[in-house]
């Protein structure tokens, strides 16, 4: 196996792990860290409809698959 093949395998493995993780949900804090923005921006995007989220009690559940 060449160095290029090994690098390609690592990239494919990383994509596969992200795909499997896509079925998970994020909190507002986790979503903000994932998107590298502050929590206020994330809340504003949820309220404006740019980020799809479901309210559960006083928290939001954000499906990660919308960011992939």
- The domain segmentation of the chain, as residue ranges, is 24-68
Q: Measuring CA to CA, which residue among 53, 54, 62, 68 is closest to residue 30?
A: 62
Q: Each residue of 15-67: pLDDT tens digit?
A: 877 777 667 899 999 999 999 999 999 999 999 999 999 999 999 999 988 88
3-class SS at 2?
coil
Neighbours of 12 (CB within 10 A): 10
Global pTM value: 0.69
Q: Is 24-68 CATH 1.10.10.10?
A: yes
User: Tokens 């923005």 — which residue?
Assistant: 37
Specify the DSSP element, H or E, that contains 50: none
Q: Which residue in the block uniquely carries the two structure tokens 């896509």?
A: 22
């Amino acid at each position: 196996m060449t160095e290029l093949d090994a690098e390609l395998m690592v990239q494919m493995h990383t994509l596969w792990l992200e795909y499997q993780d896509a079925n998970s949900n994020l909190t507002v804090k986790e979503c903000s860290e994932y998107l590298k923005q502050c929590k206020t921006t994330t809340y504003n995007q949820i309220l404006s409809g740019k980020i799809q989220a479901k309210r559960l009690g006083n928290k939001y559940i954000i499906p990660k698959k919308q960011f992939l």
